[in-house]
């Protein structure tokens, strides 16, 4: 196992303390906060596996929950026929993936560990290798099974605790956003960034920043690493606060300010997928909560911000536009690779539509397409059926968060962003009886 980054050491030390002292709730809170430290991973198993702090904390959380369930004479291990059925998918996916892998052997696939960020289509074409039967599929399946087990264990907590976990996650993203914005301001003032050095020291590696194709502007990623990964944690947080802005009438200003903060954080990251996701979520928000006065108020504020922004930050806005349009229209950066990888995965899916080609056999830069290609129509249908009892969700905050995750995984993403701890947390909260009674659905 490689060197452990300082922030991971701190998280692991605190998590171990909570584990030893039997503090299940505190482990859940710590895991929710640790989601933003994506870049503070440990490189293990010949540098082919990355273990993030949130995975370490959730492992301790799972072990402690299961230990308490086994030792408890009163409760024991009980399964809900409705809400714990997703565990069946964990039993299905490994043999199904191995079978799919054998049937699809020989197909040209892109290795799952290659992301292609910053590359061109030609270099990605050269990385294609024929798919062979491999035991590595078992370890890849663990990344799919892990959040399902997290979901099962989180359901053992009460709805109030799970809501606190979500709020801890939201405020962790607030911290990340403020850190990135302040880092951007520091870069604009001075070339020597103290915050950049602190970030690099805490996560144990560089790479938290990206260029804008020679435009002289630094893209800020912070603790998540790749700047585009910011949208993975920010979009569900943005969806949640927008939903709370509808339902929590006593604190609407608070939630709207946080939504504006996440918007600025996305702009700072120069993430095309993140900015597109926010625009789509705003359209969904207006559909769910359309009021003529609210519509004109938002339109007025956006117009003022746009005019002032063009006047004061004309060069920055021009660079932002040119950078993102260059990725789309000129085939530069990750956009061309993403489009090619999605097209290639859809071709693989058309050849093996029913059970796919196996988890981990392809790495399309689109989470939804990757899942379809890996598990096929049967696997996706089975997965939807097992989670069917969690829906419908009448809480707009949880619903908008799911919309955000779905939008993100349609635009970009991979298996880890589709089967993620964030999804597990939201689904666990949505499945609680207290939550469903609150919204008159049982």
Query: Long-range contacts made by residues 169-175, C-beta under 8 angstroms, separation at least 24?
Result: 169/32, 169/33, 169/35, 169/237, 169/422, 169/425, 170/237, 170/240, 170/241, 170/258, 172/32, 172/33, 172/34, 172/35, 172/36, 173/36, 173/233, 173/234, 173/237, 173/262, 174/237, 174/258, 174/261, 175/36
Q: What pLDDT was estimated at residue 117?
A: 43
Q: Dihedral sign for Cα 360, 361, 367, 372, please.
A: negative
Residue 190 lies in a domain: yes
Q: What pLDDT was estimated at residue 112?
A: 44
pLDDT tops 80 at residue 249: no
Q: What pLDDT was estimated at residue 30?
A: 97
Q: What pLDDT was estimated at residue 199?
A: 87
Q: What pLDDT was estimated at residue 122?
A: 47
Residue 26 lies in a domain: no
pLDDT tops 80 at residue 392: no
pLDDT tops 70 at residue 310: no
Residue 215 lies in a domain: yes
Q: What pLDDT was estimated at residue 238?
A: 93
Selected residue with higher pLDDT from 175 and 278? 175
Reported confidence tier of residue 110, pLDDT bands at 50, 70, 90 = low
Question: What pTM was estimated for this model as a whole?
Answer: 0.84
pLDDT tops 60 at residue 213: no
Return the residue matching tokens 């993620």.
Answer: 420
- Which of the 8 DSSP states describes residue 50? E
Q: Into how many domains does the chain fold?
A: 1
Selected residue with higher pLDDT from 343 and 39? 39
Q: Dihedral sign for Cα 9, 10, 13, 16, please.
A: negative
Residue 182 lies in a domain: yes
Residue 288 lies in a domain: yes
Residue 68 lies in a domain: no
Return the residue matching tokens 């990206």.
Answer: 210
Residue 233 lies in a domain: yes
Reported confidence tier of residue 109, pLDDT bands at 50, 70, 90 = confident
Q: What pLDDT was estimated at residue 97?
A: 86
Residue 185 lies in a domain: yes
Q: Is 116 left (phi over 0), alpha (psi -120 to 50) or beta?
A: left
**What's the pLDDT tens digit per position in 399-419?**
889 889 999 988 888 888 888
Distance of alpha carbon 163 from alpha carbon 326, whole angstroms:
41
Reported confidence tier of residue 120, pLDDT bands at 50, 70, 90 = very low
Per DSSP bridges, beta strands 209-210 and 219-220 are: antiparallel
Q: What pLDDT was estimated at residue 34?
A: 95
Range of the domain at 266: 166-307
């Amino acid at each position: 196992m490689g060197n452990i980054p300082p922030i991971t050491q701190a998280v692991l030390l605190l998590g171990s303390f909570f584990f030893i002292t039997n503090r299940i709730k505190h482990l859940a809170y710590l895991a929710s906060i640790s989601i933003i430290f994506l870049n503070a991973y440990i490189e293990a198993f010949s540098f082919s596996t990355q273990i993030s702090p949130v995975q370490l904390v959730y492992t301790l959380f799972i072990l402690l929950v299961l230990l308490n369930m086994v030792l408890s004479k009163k409760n024991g291990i009980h399964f809900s026929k409705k809400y714990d059925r997703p565990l069946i998918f964990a039993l299905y996916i490994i043999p199904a993936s191995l079978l799919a892998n054998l049937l699809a052997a020989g197909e040209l696939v892109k290795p799952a560990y290659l992301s292609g960020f910053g590359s061109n289509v030609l270099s990605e074409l050269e990385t294609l290798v024929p798919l062979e039967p491999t035991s590595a599929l078992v370890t890849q399946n663990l990344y799919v099974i892990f959040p399902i087990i997290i979901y099962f264990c989180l359901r053992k907590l009460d709805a109030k605790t799970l809501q606190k976990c979500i709020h801890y996650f939201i405020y962790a993203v607030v911290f990340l956003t403020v850190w990135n914005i302040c880092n951007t301001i520091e870069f604009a003032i001075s070339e020597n960034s103290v915050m950049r050095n602190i970030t690099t020291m805490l996560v144990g590696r560089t790479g938290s920043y990206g260029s804008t194709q020679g435009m002289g502007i630094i893209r800020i990623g912070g603790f998540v690493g790749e700047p585009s990964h910011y949208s993975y944690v920010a979009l569900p947080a943005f969806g949640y606060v927008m939903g709370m802005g509808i339902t929590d009438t006593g604190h609407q200003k608070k939630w709207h300010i946080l939504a504006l903060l996440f918007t600025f954080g996305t702009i700072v990251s120069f993430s095309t997928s993140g900015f597109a996701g926010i625009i789509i979520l705003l359209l969904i928000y207006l559909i769910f909560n359309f009021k003529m006065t609210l519509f004109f108020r938002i339109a007025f504020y956006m117009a003022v911000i746009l005019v002032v922004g063009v006047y004061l930050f004309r060069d920055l806005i021009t660079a932002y536009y040119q950078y993102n349009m260059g990725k789309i229209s000129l085939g530069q950066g990750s956009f061309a690779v993403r489009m090619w990888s999605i097209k290639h995965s859809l071709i693989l899916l058309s050849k093996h539509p029913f059970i796919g080609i196996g988890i981990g056999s392809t790495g399309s830069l689109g989470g939804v397409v990757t899942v379809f290609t890996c598990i096929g129509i049967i696997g996706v249908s089975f997965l939807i059926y097992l989670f069917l009892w969690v829906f419908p969700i009448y809480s707009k905050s949880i619903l908008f968060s799911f919309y955000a995750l779905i939008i993100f995984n349609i635009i970009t993403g991979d298996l880890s962003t589709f089967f993620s701890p964030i999804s597990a947390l939201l689904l666990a909260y949505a499945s609680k009886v207290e939550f469903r009674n609150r919204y008159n659905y049982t």
